[in-house]
Amino acid sequence: MALKKRSREAEADPFYDMLFNMLIAFVFCFIIAMLAFNPKAHKSGDIPAKAEYIVTLSWPDNNPNDIDTWMQDPADNILWFRQRDIGLMHLDRDDRGASNNTVVVNGRAIVNPIRQEMATIRGIVPGEYVVNAHYYDSKDGKPVDVTVSVVKVNPKADVVYYGTTQLPAKGEERTLVRFTLDSRGEVLNINTLQKKFVQRSGL
């Protein structure tokens, strides 16, 4: 009878070992998951989510043409698609019209109709900011109506400026808006006096 009891216990050992190993694996996976959800874990070089102002350029949905955002800060830093992070300004995306708004998933083309570029001002530098649009490339040879919005996002969203300007042809550049910030980040002046960046630099 004792032999049978030892034999039964021997048969049960691998089962308990398997349960114990599964428990260890579960605890390990739980720890890894908690580390992955840790909000303090940031990759080096990540752009801070905080912004003081958001400047958005948009043009008609499905428009094939390439419009570029150019922006200058009070320190004469100029933001554009080859200098997308300078001073306290950051360009979110270079939207090239029909050229980079399509992805292929499982053999099916998915098209994003929205034409939009967004720049953020992540801190307050007092002085004047200038926002320009440049008609970089044309697929249809037609004029493009470009809309700009300037939104103050702290402490709450407040539309500072909204307006539309037409770019008549490829190569044309227009100042969409100029605005001045004081030391508290409040807007003192808004105008649309023209100032060239692209043509001045010969780019």
pLDDT of 50-105, one tens digit each? 799 999 999 998 999 999 999 999 999 999 999 999 999 999 888 877 565 555 66
CA-to-CA separations, 167 to 82, 147, 187, in angstroms, rounded: 21, 11, 26
Cα(174)–Cα(195) distance, integer angstroms: 8
Higher local confidence (pLDDT), 38 or 163 = 163
Inside any domain, residue 196: yes
Inside any domain, residue 6: no
Question: DSSP state, 170?
Answer: T
Inside any domain, residue 17: no
Cα(134)–Cα(164) distance, integer angstroms: 14
Backbone angles phi, psi at 90, to 5 degrees: -140, 135
110: nearest Cα among 125, 100, 119: 100
Sign of the Cα torsion 185, 187, 189, 193 reads positive
* pLDDT reported for residue 114: 85
* pLDDT reported for residue 108: 74
Inside any domain, residue 4: no
Inside any domain, residue 47: no
* pLDDT reported for residue 201: 55
Of the listed ranges 8-22, 86-100, 116-130, the least confidently predicted one is 8-22
pLDDT of 156-185, one tens digit each? 899 999 999 999 999 999 999 999 999 999
Cα(170)–Cα(96) distance, integer angstroms: 13
* pLDDT reported for residue 44: 45
Average pLDDT of the residues of the chain? 81
Cα(101)–Cα(62) distance, integer angstroms: 9
Cα(131)–Cα(170) distance, integer angstroms: 18
Inside any domain, residue 106: yes
Inside any domain, residue 41: no
CB crowding 55-71: b at 16 or more within 10 Å, else e: bbbbbeeebbbbbbbbb
- Supply the pTM of this predicted model: 0.71
Average pLDDT over residues 9-31: 58
State how many domains the chain has. 1
Instruction: Identify the domain containing residue 152 by its residue range.
Output: 53-201
Confidence of residue 29 (pLDDT cuts 50, 70, 90): low
* pLDDT reported for residue 19: 57
CATH number at residue 95: 2.60.60
- Beta strands 53-59; 144-152: pairing state: antiparallel
**Percent of the chain scored above 90 by pLDDT?**
57
Inside any domain, residue 109: yes
